[in-house]
Amino acid sequence: MKLKTWTERPIVAANLTNPAFCCEIIKECAKAFKAESNNNLPFSYAMLVLPFILPANFRSRMPRSKATSMHAWLNDNESLKIDLSNHIKSFNAFSKESIMFGIVYNSIRIDESGHIEALGKKAKSSLPNEETNECLTKAGLFGRILANAGDQYTIFSMLGIKP
């Protein structure tokens, strides 16, 4: 999928998928994953972050804390898995664009194992938009949940998709 230029993108879509903002979401997830597991975020997990965080219907159904296992959360929200593969694919180009943006601007890097490492200082802890703050908070929670969910085969199996 080739991304449209900024002038060709609808304003709402351009704002929602702004690579700087999306990079911060992925970075928050990577930082939380590392804090929880002492490992960098696997690249395949980075492809899950935006599809689970950006759409309000996914984000609003996230657990309230990392105490809820991924398995229990997905069992309580089976409808999230409907057409999940296509949902994730529809965000792949935006995820890759955001990762490339982060690499160029030294916000994230890909380590020697191909995992995403968060770099630099912490982003502003509070932004003027409540939904923006919620995205960043949920990204951190998603990172902690992924860190405790098992290996990538287990996670992708629970999601019913192949990496």
Res. 1 pLDDT band, cuts 50 70 90: low
If one counts every other C-beta atom within 10 angstroms of the C-beta of residue 147, the result is 21
Residue 139's alpha-carbon distances to 11, 51, 102, 110, in angstroms, are 23, 11, 16, 19
Residue 130 has pLDDT above 90, yes or no: no
* Angle, vertex CA 151, rays to CA 150 and CA 155, nearest 5: 75
Asked if residues 26 and 99 have their Cβ atoms less than 8 Å apart, the reply is: yes
Structure tokens at 34: 């590392």
pLDDT tens readout for residues 95-125: 999 999 999 999 999 999 999 999 986 555 5
Q: Which residue has the higher pLDDT, 8 or 20?
A: 20
CA pair distance 92, 100, nearest whole angstrom: 12
In the chain, domain spans: 14-119+128-159
pLDDT digits (tens, 9 = 90+) for 73-101: 999 999 999 999 999 999 999 999 999 99
Who wins on pLDDT, 123 or 72? 72
